[in-house]
Structure 1
């Protein structure tokens, strides 16, 4: 039994390694839904056969070979067909266009403003004030284009309202008065913060608001 487990382990390791070589390191490094599904299926193929005495190592070789053919064929098909590529990998989403946040696309992408601002900060962008375009890529990352004139400008804004809720201390170490937030919102005609999807404060009195829609 132990010998059979060893043989299956070696075959599984070599088989998965060879499939990774066929697909390419670039594909393994940028997981798409199809890649993720493939990794789950491959682990199931190896795992379910590893400790089952009734499944011989020849069955494992056969299963890995079939899956490798399927994965390789799908990879070639996505290269040849744009429609298949959209189905298997999805499409990039324009979350911010001309400085306007598409809240419907944001929700459809299972993101909220906290997620988006966190990813923006990872791209060294700390305020919606300077953002012209944000593209949500199929690999889960974002691409950001700043507004003209702000390419080399860094502005830090503090989130103070998210989904109609006031955030008095979104960043630890910087507390902002709730009364000030309400006052600044009212000056722009928002008597109820529930009407605001997101707002951030630049400096002491510059409140940038995205209305809820």
Structure 2
């Protein structure tokens, strides 16, 4: 084969890749419009799996010389129709949605932490605290209800003015803001948190005894704030 023939084959390959990329981009934009627009943070587990499938579908067809443009278009059309059919089916039979997209789970109900729900969603107290901080909540005592959404975010309903429980405090000097520390998590002492507070396990033992708790293993969760004191929940 001559050099000119090789160059023509290379040129044809590049043109084919470029055309496939354009078609894939247009196809994905159309599919996004049909299925509805969502922010990345709003994607459900099904949306995430669908995105992975689409990326594999497009990636494996663009650079394969044996896959023609018509194959790519056909695959995009079939996948779009399947996704649309599933969406419509879920709307028709709503109870199936909890299997396809999941349902929110209550992690905190009426101020009480549901540890079983945390384990069910593979969450530890550090992750729960991080999700709460993303909602500008730095203390568990502020939370009345917390829902773990299907996209991995958390929705929080706060207690009514937890920092100002007494009347007449509006005109009083502001309290010093202190960052609460989780000192017990699922019966285990968080010694790193005690260190940040400048306290030790003996101090914690005495603190629990003042609250009528003989063993820290009985405590599901406890946090300490220098401004608000001890907050805890037993197992």
Shift in Å, 1:10: 1.4
Q: How does 1:180-199 map to 2 (within 5 A)?
A: 180-199=203-222
Q: Does 1:52 align with 2:78?
A: no
C-alpha RMSD of matched pairs (Å): 2.5
Q: Distance in 2 between matches of 1:145 and 1:98?
A: 10
Q: How does 1:82-121 map to 2 (within 5 A)?
A: 82-121=94-133
1:8 aligned residue? 20
Q: TM-score, normalised by structure 2?
A: 0.80
State the number of aligned residues: 212
Q: Distance in 2 between matches of 1:77 and 1:12?
A: 26
Which deviates more, 125-134 or 190-199? Answer: 190-199
Q: Does 1:139 align with 2:151?
A: yes
SS at the partner of 2:152? coil
Task: Name the larger-Rg structure.
Answer: 2
Structure 1 residue corresponding to 2:224, chosen from 196, 201, 211: 201
Shift in Å, 1:78: 2.1
Structure 2 residue corresponding to 1:38, chosen from 28, 37, 50: 50
Q: Which residues of structure 2 form unaligned runs of 5+?
A: 1-12, 166-176
Q: Which residues of structure 1 form unaligned runs of 5+?
A: none
Contact 2:132 2:156 in 1 (8 A): yes
